[in-house]
Structure 1
């Protein structure tokens, strides 16, 4: 550590311009990689490495082949009827506009567009009536007749109620299943644009398009509108607090510049470590948004401590080159230790069963190292360059004259601003250390007990504001149609599906599914896509296929005849509809997929899976293997893993940081107890913040799940800074009380500036529209405030008692003379004994 700090100190003192140019070069390179950063918003990326997660991957990789659906809601409004001239005209306009758009790749056959109005159009045309000129009574009569036909049973699901009083209807647009994810997303957005042109011509109806890609695009657009406003307010707050702390424009600018460079380095290195390059980590996810928050907290902390020490040296007349070197040497030891401890703590996340959380630990570790290197080089080197100019030298001279005048008058410089406020908190440690620790212990134990009641949530709905357009559309889908009609639960079937006995079992399973709870049905039959439904649908749509299938022993109404040739039937299906066949039939017909329309939602996903598993028992009786899986089941598994990993992750992080600190202070200073004392703020903060989450009814989600790690990440450096400066001041001053007071005045003031800046900046997130983001902003702000309180009240009380205990043992330290009082810590000395 001393070797590294010595070379960094020499570099900023002797060649500051070269240091700045080197930082610029690295930033340009990493910035180029940072522009390639993308975020994976699919919550299934959180799935642990489990049988269920691997089964869901099989569904996506082996059977889905891409594609997607867009649901278009036509809402006539409360008390109105969608089966009206206007409603049918809107449905017809939407279907026609989508079919006419050449850039949209629809599924083949009649699956491309399914409309609630199709049966009614057919009934009207059969009566010789023009749908555009039909009266409401004629439409009502045609609808009653049309929906009695069993073939229109599936269209009934596209109405929000009975035909005689349906308020809303759906037009479902199914894209070509051969599209990959990117192409399908592009087509979904193209559908939304087409629908928007229809909406512009319709005033009496509400028309909304919904799909995962459209939802993601709307949320991203809302975020792009909202974030500049929030960041603008955050920027003003941070500038104001830093200006109060520094009273120097250049110090404020350098602090912000360091943060920007740090975050750019983190994103650039994250891309290099990502799947497109080294493959060490996966892509950035929603949980990775916590990394810049932590880096801002640590980066500002590093910058303020370096700047404060630099200016402290200059206040005693030290020249810029020497002041920059002293800042690195004196503060750098604490910064290196804080960096190592924080990195080790966050790297313990790699044991998490959830890949994004493991990646979070790596991203944070990379960012923390980047923050140390950037700030420890940029701040002192830039200050050296700026203050070496004639204007800077004049300021240095004025500071020297003020110090000399004070010394001549027998006065010492007085602390001001946040430093003065923090200095006054020393009274707690000086006069009532035991009472302070007793109160803190009671609060921590009570908060820790409350923390056992904290809940965990994992749902995509958490990231959709209820009052936003996507939120209102989702609410409408749920309220009018009983949930998302694209919800699917899957059954993977492994075994020879060409065996006639297996196909008989499949037919029996489909009949059982019609009565299973949470399974959607039409006309008494379950809505299931399977190898048999594939054959039936192709036969209904294509007379040539029906004739060829009949020759091979298949009848859509009667099923397989004795002596049928399943191998030839499935080969015929592959030739007629390869993309559709790939969705239900595996390679070599050794597996199959049943896609079952369900309405369980996340809350009842397991109950639906149990009901489906019972219904497909005939397949297992026929010697086939079955696995029931859905996206919601994966979410539930992630939820369980998050719950199980929280306590384990917090414990591992705390133990790892504690062991490192005890080892460090034992090796360097033969004072291992200081390692435990240094961890006091972190332990207290974790308990306080978890207890606060329970009191505020905030659960763990993909963002707040990292709050304990952030508490440790911020609390550990605060504790290290206090301990490091206390040992230095204990060597300089005669009494423990004076050492505590000076520590809180200088280091405490720097920490207060860092805490105020970071807490205010991210507290602005409480005005965000997303509830998890609001909760995250509040919890992070409270975590930072708690870390400061623990570092300036609890830890000094511990150091006070420890210092008195050491004094009673005869370890009173050096008795400083006037020259030693302001002497910087010698390079290589580590922590004074």
Structure 2
């Protein structure tokens, strides 16, 4: 084929270009999937509940934290200028159309004012006063005279403070009125206002994003919020605005742009490796071939509708690293056949010798990547499909393009020379595989032991489960998040979705009492994880908390009246208009997803009354669900990949022994790398969930090519030791170079500024390196030992060779 193509170089180039452009156009059809369905399965209860939750109460929150300096108190921001600034910023955000609601410090105090005053001017008709009176009556009915007395005294003091500010001066630019609203009778920030004023030197503006948004839409909204809130300037104050949307946007932006950068670095490193170590004519051709294959791969992915996610974008350097081996092997084999000149048709000989082997290793990879489909994480499964499509496209490119290009070259300008030198790399590989055959059995036993130990230790490997640690720690978003955590104690939230499962409203005394008790129990039980709980029930409940008095849950009527009086932005994030859904928002302390999982699982086990359903929701639950799905079958992914590839090789090679030999270095590589990472205490990123199948695919590529080339040499009449030495010498250069490029392609990810990717690159590169060493040192003595017993080449030595296709003679110009 290749020689015939050489007679029509122009046509071949034109057809190849048109084909590549046509496939490459599919890249324009690629779409980025960044919604919740990338992390959770649509049929998961968690996914469905979270969709419903966000439809009602919105998505993630952005925090603008105002921190006072130089001894100033938070009430000092309530000047005419300060109030105007906060109101303008809040209104600008609402007008942007990118947010669901904004609760500013002004909004919070306006709500507080509506609770302590009444339309008729009688303070005892206010919601707060009625709630206190109801609590007092409950104490009296229970015979709790101490609590009743405490509430009576506190109500008296509160009334005096209220009446001390004339009605016409009850405005937020009046310092005395602000102090009354903000501080309780003990001079502390009122409990009901703690979600907005954590202490007397801090306040928060909470901007809620629309629910069920993509990372792109939330990222764009976060940019608007950060930009708009820069106008929040007050004397003696510092304002920091950030939130989870900024963090996720940073990760997403890096994976989109940064991966292209890493891919470019990988290409540059591969170029250097090829120039220095790949001593052939047109030594950069494999790089061009694999780049064409990558274009085909991503184009096909676009046509097939395979989306790009946070994980699949890493496919570029991975496919470059793994795929270039195919092109290097084909190029090296063609060069070998041309120089040795043992066949009148060297290009056809190369195609016949290596083409079927490349198809075998491609199917090795396909079956390894199919194992990824058992992952419970949608974006991991999409990564598996991308790799399958990619490896097939690259295999075709690595067979067709080198044959065509080098066929054209050899037709026009044949390579001169008849001495094929093993070179330093070839001699190195021969030496690496020179272990005596007598060591084979012990090596096989060691391989099994290492793999089993690695599999036992793998579930114990530490996964980095704090999303904040997935990002460059020197980035601005991390600095801002750490700053907010140090100022107010936390920057993330955990939502709890309280639903009525029948037609009844939650504004009943029993339902309100349950929500109130539940909130307080969670705060007590998970005090190390939760900082403050906020809800419409908690607001009224906190109003009735008086020092020296036992807590009493508020009356449902008071809670409903409070919601009716609340500003729209507060209503949107606390309860549905029909009263059948409540939201409880817990501000969480800095906690890993693993720590949050404890809280989430505990909330799920809540024994709610009949007619009420309690569901943890929000970003924290999505994160916990992602973590649990990742950990669910981490080890099984590797085991299944090993099993599928082994079964394929058993069938394709028609020999149990040949299949086992191909898998031994895989077991060693997988086990040794896991043991090393465990002993070193390296924390792995969630992306390493796909590391096992990647290593299985790469390692079986090496082992299958070595085994099949060995059988080819045996078919030429060589004895086992001589055949394995010839295999090592002739293919050594290609193996070492392809291994270096594979490690470079994946290993360059280890230099990412994103720890999420860096650990993944380190993990996979380490396993690939061990796999190559194991394949080149352990496999040769195993093959020799087994073949001396007739187990390797049995039934494959007497196959008749099909005749070559005759091609027209040509008289090219010979070059050296």
Does the pair score TM above 0.5?
yes
Q: Cα gap change, 1:701/1:56 in structure 2, threshold over 3 Å: closer, same or farther?
A: farther
Instruction: Give the one of 460, 468, 483 matched to 1:461.
Output: 468
Q: Cα gap change, 1:801/1:752 in structure 2, threshold over 3 Å: closer, same or farther?
A: same
Query: Does 2:689 correspond to 1:654?
Result: no
Separation in 2 of the partners of 1:178 and 1:228?
28
Secondary structure at the residue paired with 2:376? Answer: coil
Secondary structure at the residue paired with 1:805? Answer: coil
Q: Which runs of 5+ in 1 are unaligned?
A: 1-7, 275-280, 404-411, 535-556, 829-833
Instruction: Give the one of 514, 523, 541 matched to 1:518.
Output: 523
Are the equivalent residues in 1 in contact too, given 2:194–2:532 (CA < 8 A)? no
TM-superposed deviation, 1:711: 0.9
Secondary structure at the residue paired with 1:171? Answer: strand
TM-superposed deviation, 1:416: 1.0
> 2:315 maps to what in 1?
291
Secondary structure at the residue paired with 2:627? Answer: helix
> 1:639 maps to what in 2?
627
Higher mean alpha-carbon deviation, 299-308 vs 418-427, is at 418-427
TM-superposed deviation, 1:494: 1.9
> 1:551 maps to what in 2?
none
TM-superposed deviation, 1:639: 3.1
TM-superposed deviation, 1:333: 0.8
Separation in 2 of the partners of 1:84 and 1:582?
25
Separation in 1 of the partners of 2:747 and 2:215?
36
Q: Show the 5 A alignment for 1:552-591.
A: 559-560=556-557, 584-585=575-576
> 1:147 maps to what in 2?
182
> 2:581 maps to what in 1?
592
Secondary structure at the residue paired with 1:518? Answer: helix
Q: Cα gap change, 1:747/1:269 in structure 2, threshold over 3 Å: closer, same or farther?
A: same
Secondary structure at the residue paired with 2:239? Answer: strand
> 1:191 maps to what in 2?
225
Instruction: Give the one of 502, 509, 515 matched to 1:504.
Output: 509
Are the equivalent residues in 2 in contact too, given 1:456–1:699 (CA < 8 A)? yes
Q: Cα gap change, 1:695/1:742 in structure 2, threshold over 3 Å: closer, same or farther?
A: same
Q: Show the 5 A alignment for 1:284-323.
A: 284-317=308-341, 322-323=345-346
Q: Cα gap change, 1:80/1:323 in structure 2, threshold over 3 Å: closer, same or farther?
A: farther
> 2:300 maps to what in 1?
269
After TM superposition, the score normalised by the length of structure 2 is 0.77
Separation in 1 of the partners of 2:618 and 2:209?
21
Q: Show the 5 A alignment for 1:445-460.
A: 446-451=453-458, 453-460=460-467
Using CA pairs below 8 Å that are at least 6 residues apart, which structure has the higher relative contact order? 2
Separation in 2 of the partners of 1:105 and 1:308?
60
> 1:5 maps to what in 2?
none
Please list the CA deviations of residues 609-628 of structure 1 after superposition, one character each: whole Å capped at 9, or x if unmatched. Answer: 577568773xx23x344444
TM-superposed deviation, 1:301: 0.8
> 1:679 maps to what in 2?
663
Separation in 1 of the partners of 2:330 and 2:601?
60
> 1:367 maps to what in 2?
390
Q: Cα gap change, 1:106/1:353 in structure 2, threshold over 3 Å: closer, same or farther?
A: closer
Secondary structure at the residue paired with 2:283? Answer: helix
Q: Cα gap change, 1:508/1:803 in structure 2, threshold over 3 Å: closer, same or farther?
A: same
Separation in 2 of the partners of 1:718 and 1:95?
66
Are the equivalent residues in 1 in contact too, given 2:371–2:693 (CA < 8 A)? no
Q: Cα gap change, 1:175/1:770 in structure 2, threshold over 3 Å: closer, same or farther?
A: closer
TM-superposed deviation, 1:782: 1.1
> 2:547 maps to what in 1?
none
TM-superposed deviation, 1:239: 1.3
Are the equivalent residues in 2 in contact too, given 1:12–1:381 (CA < 8 A)? yes
Q: Cα gap change, 1:616/1:650 in structure 2, threshold over 3 Å: closer, same or farther?
A: closer
Are the equivalent residues in 1 in contact too, given 2:68–2:236 (CA < 8 A)? yes
Secondary structure at the residue paired with 1:490? Answer: strand
> 1:344 maps to what in 2?
367
Separation in 1 of the partners of 2:720 and 2:687?
42
TM-superposed deviation, 1:55: 3.8
Instruction: Give the one of 193, 207, 210 matched to 1:173.
Output: 207
Q: Cα gap change, 1:439/1:560 in structure 2, threshold over 3 Å: closer, same or farther?
A: closer
Secondary structure at the residue paired with 2:790? Answer: helix
Separation in 1 of the partners of 2:194 and 2:719?
85
Are the equivalent residues in 2 in contact too, given 1:234–1:764 (CA < 8 A)? yes
Are the equivalent residues in 2 in contact too, given 1:72–1:210 (CA < 8 A)? yes
Instruction: Give the one of 727, 739, 749 matched to 2:723.
Output: 739
Separation in 2 of the partners of 1:687 and 1:770?
26
**In angstroms, what is the RMSD of aligned CA positions?**
4.8
> 1:331 maps to what in 2?
354
Separation in 2 of the partners of 1:451 and 1:258?
36
Secondary structure at the residue paired with 1:517? Answer: helix
Separation in 2 of the partners of 1:106 and 1:48?
27
Secondary structure at the residue paired with 1:285? Answer: coil
TM-superposed deviation, 1:343: 0.9
> 2:276 maps to what in 1?
244
Secondary structure at the residue paired with 2:753? Answer: coil
Are the equivalent residues in 2 in contact too, given 1:69–1:174 (CA < 8 A)? yes
TM-superposed deviation, 1:258: 2.4
> 1:212 maps to what in 2?
244
Please list the CA deviations of residues 337-367 of structure 1 after superposition, one character each: whole Å capped at 9, or x if unmatched. Answer: 1111221222133233332233232222111
Separation in 1 of the partners of 2:677 and 2:792?
42
Q: Show the 5 A alignment for 1:387-786.
A: 387-389=410-412, 392-393=413-414, 396=415, 399=416, 402-403=417-418, 412-429=419-436, 433=440, 437=444, 443-444=450-451, 446-451=453-458, 453-484=460-491, 486-498=493-505, 503-518=508-523, 527-528=534-535, 559-560=556-557, 584-585=575-576, 592-599=581-588, 601=591, 602-605=593-596, 608-609=599-600, 617=608, 620-621=609-610, 623-666=611-654, 671-699=655-683, 701-786=685-770
Q: Show the 5 A alignment for 1:44-193.
A: 45-48=38-41, 51-60=44-53, 62-64=55-57, 66=58, 68-76=60-68, 81=72, 83=74, 93=85, 95-100=87-92, 104-105=96-97, 111-114=102-105, 144-148=179-183, 153-161=191-199, 163=200, 166=201, 168-174=202-208, 185-193=219-227
Please list the CA deviations of residues 40-63 of structure 1 after superposition, one character each: whole Å capped at 9, or x if unmatched. Answer: 455763324665324434425653
- How many aligned positions are there? 734
> 2:379 maps to what in 1?
356
After TM superposition, the score normalised by the length of structure 1 is 0.75
TM-superposed deviation, 1:332: 0.6
Q: Cα gap change, 1:118/1:428 in structure 2, threshold over 3 Å: closer, same or farther?
A: same
Secondary structure at the residue paired with 1:497? Answer: coil
TM-superposed deviation, 1:739: 0.6
TM-superposed deviation, 1:67: 5.6
Instruction: Give the one of 284, 287, 292 matched to 1:256.
Output: 287
Are the equivalent residues in 2 in contact too, given 1:75–1:205 (CA < 8 A)? yes
TM-superposed deviation, 1:207: 3.0
Q: Cα gap change, 1:219/1:654 in structure 2, threshold over 3 Å: closer, same or farther?
A: closer
Secondary structure at the residue paired with 1:428? Answer: coil
Q: Cα gap change, 1:582/1:129 in structure 2, threshold over 3 Å: closer, same or farther?
A: closer
Secondary structure at the residue paired with 2:521? Answer: coil
> 2:134 maps to what in 1?
none
Higher mean alpha-carbon deviation, 420-429 vs 177-186, is at 177-186
Are the equivalent residues in 1 in contact too, given 2:438–2:785 (CA < 8 A)? no
Separation in 1 of the partners of 2:499 and 2:5?
63
TM-superposed deviation, 1:478: 2.6
Separation in 1 of the partners of 2:9 and 2:269?
31
> 1:408 maps to what in 2?
none
Q: Cα gap change, 1:20/1:420 in structure 2, threshold over 3 Å: closer, same or farther?
A: farther
Are the equivalent residues in 2 in contact too, given 1:765–1:777 (CA < 8 A)? yes
Separation in 2 of the partners of 1:812 and 1:40?
48
Q: Cα gap change, 1:152/1:10 in structure 2, threshold over 3 Å: closer, same or farther?
A: farther
Separation in 1 of the partners of 2:533 and 2:757?
40
Separation in 2 of the partners of 1:808 and 1:773?
40
Separation in 2 of the partners of 1:684 and 1:615?
46
Separation in 1 of the partners of 2:568 and 2:167?
34
Q: Show the 5 A alignment for 1:375-394.
A: 375-389=398-412, 392-393=413-414
Secondary structure at the residue paired with 1:286? Answer: coil
